[in-house]
Each structure stands twice: as structure tokens, then as C-alpha cells.
Amino acid sequence: MFKDVDEQLEIILRGIVDIVTKEELTKKLNRSMKENKPLRIKLGLDPTAPDIHIGNAIPIHKLRTFQSLGHTAILIIGDYTATVGDPSGVNKTRPMITYEKVLENAKTYLSQAENILDLEKTEVVYNSTWFEKMTFNEVIQLAAKMTVARMMERDDFTKRYNAGIPISVHEFIYPLMQGYDSIMVKSDVELGGTDQLFSLLVGRDLQRDAGMEPQVTLTTPLLEGIDGNKKMSKSLGNYIGVTESPGEMFGKAMSIPDNLMRKYFELATDLSINEINQLLDVHTHPRTAKAALARAIVRRYHTDKDAEAASAEFDRIFKEHALPDNIPDVQISSGELTDGKIWITRLIVLCGFANTNSEARRLVQQGGVSINNDAINNPSLNIEIKPNTILKVGKRRFARIVLKNQ
């Protein structure tokens, strides 16, 4: 049923940053083989936003790796922890979101996770199952398991305290809640990002205190965004969403900085290390390697055919300066026009390519806007709208302007 332990370890540890401890994991895998009993692998997701991007997906893929090796995947939907807000890696208290919003987000999380995991073979559990039944006395008993001094070992808390930035008491509760999840699902291994290491270790402490064998903790790296500067985040606009179209995925992947290609290959594709090394050989042109990376990312969430089609479409647009086959129509009310013309910044906003006139003005000034392949550099310009007018913003966003009568 199970692969050899050394082979399992090689597969499991690809891309892992922290492991506490390798000796314990080896012991658990050996026992699993001897008893023919799968390990219980836990991953918790807090549905604080409706979409998953390929950075969020890294630990989900690692959970899938364990699942493909014959172990039991446990996906905890943190509907209660999400209302608290994970303090990991943030420099201020996260705004609390409503329970209704959390449940709404959870639905889309599961539908997106289904693209990665075999949900029929996954234990999906909401941590409200146990937290909503806890009495206040039980909450106090849980809080008594941790000292303030231990909490202040967290680098993010220490930085905030020294900078005079408030730390809310409920934030101290978060790692205890995540650790308590490990007791309730009897996890043998817990996965998380490197910014969650403290909370994962709390799970070990709480399991040990409850007389259980402590879980092994494995952390995966945080993936920089396609701008190469910051952690991938939807709010920063530097992300690739797991439900995006093949063409959008491919185009975004082609903007990944060269120095991050290996990290993206290893964390965001299914290619082997040997295949990655060959593609990143000094004799391979960086654009050839990046196109292979983009195809591999698309292939992970779509099909081989989709990846090849997206690659061909990208070449057609950017090498041959052709237009995409499927340009969306955007209807603009004729009432927006004066003498058949519209202010370019207003047009950009109406097409959804900018949220404000100021943002649209910056896009024009940066040289990223054209009408029918004619560059627009003046943000005060009024554009005449003719039949089949094509607006292009940036490298990949197109709109065909269609007028509608009021």
C-alpha cells in the first residue's frame, strides 16, 4: 500500500522549509507501514477571502502529496479561527469579519480546493464543530496552557510590542485554537506556511499536554508575487488565481522575474527536479524557460491542451502584435459621451481596468494604454468611440467598446 519510507521522505520533503522533527516523521512513517495504517495529515484554512491563489495552494498541494502516498488528508475549515484572524506575519490586528462572510467564503474555498484534493477521500471538518460547544470555563482552561512570555516569543508580536502597536488579547487565543484543532482531529502531521510555525508548535505542546504523541510540523515557503517584491496577495494584485483562465494564468506567469523562476518551478508546478534543472540550464534562453514555467502552471490547474493554447495565444499577441481571439465586449452608455467622445480615464474606469480616475490617469501616464493599437499618453484626452473600438490596458487586458442607447 505504501511506498518505501526513504522514497516517501524524498517526495514529502521537496520544498519543505521547517521540519520538527525528521526523526519523528521517519518513525511515524515506519510505524504506518508496519501497521498498514495511514497517517493523519492536517491542514487548516481560514476562509478570510473568497479566492485561493497559487501561493495559498502550496500547502494544499503538499496535503495532496500525502494523500497520493496513501495517507489521510484532513482539511480543517477554520470558520471560528477566521473570525479571530491569524496574527502570523502581520504588523497590526486583522479586522474581524462576520461569521456569515466566513461561511460564504468557505463554499468557494472548497470548490477551488477540489481542483487539487480528492475531496471524496478527504476529511473536511469545520472547527466550529467543537468550538461552538465550549463553555467559557473551558476557554479559560485552554488559555491557561500558555504564558504571555511564551506568546511574546513570536517575532511578529515582539516587533509590534516594541513599536507600540496594539496587540489584542483575542490574537493570543488564535494559536491555542489552531493547536486545539490538532487534539480534536488527532493529527500525526500538520502543514502550514513558514509564518505559522509558532502555531504549529503550539499544537505539539497541547497534544503532549493531552497525553498524545505530538504531531510533526512541516512548513512550506511563502511565495513572492509576480512583481517579485512582496508576498503574493490578492490585495496587492500580484497573484495568480487558481480559477483564472489559462490565458490569464499564462500571461501573468510570463511576468515572473527571472530570479524567482526556480522557486516558482519547485513550488507551483509538478515538474521533477531533473526537468527543472534542464530548463534552467545556462544554455537555455530565459524566455524559453519562462514559457515552460507558464505552461506548467497552467497545466496544473487546467489541461495540457489549455496550456499549449494559452502559449500559442500569448505568442500571437506579443510576438505578432495580434489581438486575442476572445476580446470581451464592454457596454458603455451613450450618455457617457459628449459629441461622440469620452474622457480616456473615465473609459478605463467604466471598463473595470481601474477603480478610480486617479488610478486610470497613472496607467495612461505610465504608457500602458492604447486605443486600436495607438498609444495614449495624455490622460486628459477625449476619445472618439467608433464601431469596433478596442481598448488595451497593460499587456493582457482588452475590451471591445459597445455603445448602448440610454
- Domains of the chain, with CATH numbers? 5-220 (3.40.50.620), 246-318 (1.10.240.10), 329-404 (3.10.290.10)
Q: Specify whether the CB–CB gap between 103 and 76 falls below 8 A.
A: no
Q: Given CA atoms 237, 241, 246, 252 in this order, what sign does their dihedral have?
A: positive
Distant-in-sequence, close-in-space partners of 304: CB < 8 Å, separation ≥ 6: none
Bridge partners (DSSP) of residue 192 are 219
Per-residue pLDDT tens digits for 31-76: 999 999 999 999 998 877 677 889 989 999 999 999 999 999 999 9
Length of the chain: 406
pLDDT of residue 308: 94
Per-residue pLDDT tens digits for 383-403: 888 877 888 888 778 888 888
Grid cell in block for residue 251: 500571461
What is each CA distance from 190 to 32, 153, 203, in whole angstroms? 16, 21, 9
Query: Of the given ranges (126-130, 183-187, 338-342, 346-350), which has the lowest mean pLDDT?
Result: 338-342
Per-residue pLDDT tens digits for 336-390: 888 888 999 999 998 888 888 888 888 888 888 888 878 888 888 888 888 778 8
Bridge partners (DSSP) of residue 196 are none
Which carries the bigger pLDDT value, residue 144 or residue 269?
269
Q: d(Cα 187, Cα 217) in Å, to the nearest integer? A: 10
> Residue 90 above 60 pLDDT?
no
Per-residue pLDDT tens digits for 255-266: 898 999 999 999
Q: d(Cα 200, Cα 12) in Å, to the nearest integer? A: 17
Q: Mean pLDDT for the chain?
A: 86
Rounded to the nearest angstrom, the gap between the alpha carbon of residue 9 and the centroid of all alpha carbons in its chain is 25
Residue with cell 484554512: 45
Q: Specify whether the CB–CB gap between 54 and 242 falls below 8 A.
A: yes
> Residue 81 above 90 pLDDT?
no
pLDDT of residue 261: 93
Q: d(Cα 406, Cα 400) in Å, to the nearest integer? A: 19
Q: Specify whether the CB–CB gap between 159 and 169 falls below 8 A.
A: no
- The helix/strand/coil state of 205 is helix
Q: Give the helix ranges, DSSP H, for 69-222.
A: 81-84, 99-113, 128-131, 136-143, 148-151, 155-162, 169-185, 197-209
Q: d(Cα 245, Cα 241) in Å, to the nearest integer? A: 9
Residue 152 corresponds to which amino acid?
Answer: M
> Residue 153 above 80 pLDDT?
no
Per-residue pLDDT tens digits for 194-243: 988 888 999 999 999 999 999 999 999 999 988 887 788 876 778 898 88
Q: Where are the beta strands (DSSP E) in 7-154?
A: 18-20, 40-45, 72-77, 122-126
